[in-house]
């Protein structure tokens, strides 16, 4: 066997040994937290409310009911990345429920997966309380993501069908009223706490010359 072949074999064996010693899935390490921290905005009053929600707890902010399913942070040795999987239902004036959001929120990019609502906005701020580090392979999906994929496809199709049924059209073929958001759902649990930011809006500025 020539020296060149031996040299290549030794190099291949060294690389294989280093790969075996390298930690697997280190880039995917994360911390599961029991509590998610949110901020909510009432777009009418401009008031922002911060509140904490336990994982699998349901709270109501204005007309929105929020239920975080998981909340992850990263170890101090990893790049900062705070994510949460959230379900959001809107309570209509007829006391019916419509799922308007199911998916991941990213604290560093609140607008990436935002809740679309004309009055209220909610975004993830932080996760807290966790200590156990979960090591997973890079290619492994988070369970809520995998579980949500078929449900999301069914929800999107139902929303399109529901929109076609409920959109009134005038003689010119134009839609008079926007379709309802989300799809009808039955709530699994009642909110443990409620926040109604419209009750205490900001005090309007006093006009100039007001003796008060």
What was the pLDDT predicted at 186? 84
What was the pLDDT predicted at 121? 93
Low-confidence ranges of the chain (pLDDT < 50): 1, 5-6, 8-9, 12, 14-27, 139-141, 163-168, 170, 174-177, 200-204
Element (H, E) at 10: helix 3-21
| Coil, strand or helix at 18 | helix
**C-alpha distance from residue 55 to each of 67, 70, 71, 129 (Å):** 7, 6, 7, 11
147 vs 211: CA distance, rounded Å = 62
Q: Tens of pLDDT along 68-102?
A: 999 999 988 888 899 999 999 999 888 899 999 99
Q: How are strands ordered across the β-sheet holding 48-54?
A: 48-54, 35-42, 120-128
Work out whether the CA dihedral 142, 152, 67, 62 comes out positive or negative. positive
What was the pLDDT predicted at 139? 45
Whether the CB-CB separation of 126 and 212 falls below 8 Å is answered with no
174 vs 91: CA distance, rounded Å = 28
């Amino acid at each position: 066997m020539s020296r060149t072949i031996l040299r290549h074999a030794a190099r291949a064996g060294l690389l294989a040994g280093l790969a075996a010693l390298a930690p697997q899935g280190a880039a995917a390490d994360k911390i599961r937290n029991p509590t998610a921290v949110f901020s909510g905005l009432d777009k009418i009053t401009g008031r922002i409310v911060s509140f904490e929600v336990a994982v699998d707890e349901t709270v109501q902010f204005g007309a929105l009911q929020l239920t975080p399913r998981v909340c992850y942070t990263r170890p101090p040795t990893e790049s900062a990345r705070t994510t949460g999987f959230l379900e959001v239902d809107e309570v209509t004036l007829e006391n019916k429920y419509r799922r308007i959001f199911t998916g991941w929120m990213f604290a560093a990019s609140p607008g990436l997966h935002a809740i679309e609502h004309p009055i209220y906005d909610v975004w993830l701020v932080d996760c807290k309380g966790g200590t156990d580090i979960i090591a997973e392979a890079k290619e492994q999906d988070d369970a809520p993501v995998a579980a949500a994929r078929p449900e999301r496809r069914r929800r999107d199709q139902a929303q399109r069908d529901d929109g076609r049924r409920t959109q009134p059209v005038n003689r010119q073929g134009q839609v008079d009223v926007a379709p309802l958001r989300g799809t009808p759902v039955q709530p699994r649990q009642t909110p443990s706490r409620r926040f109604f930011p419209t009750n205490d809006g900001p005090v309007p500025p006093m006009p100039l010359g007001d003796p008060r």
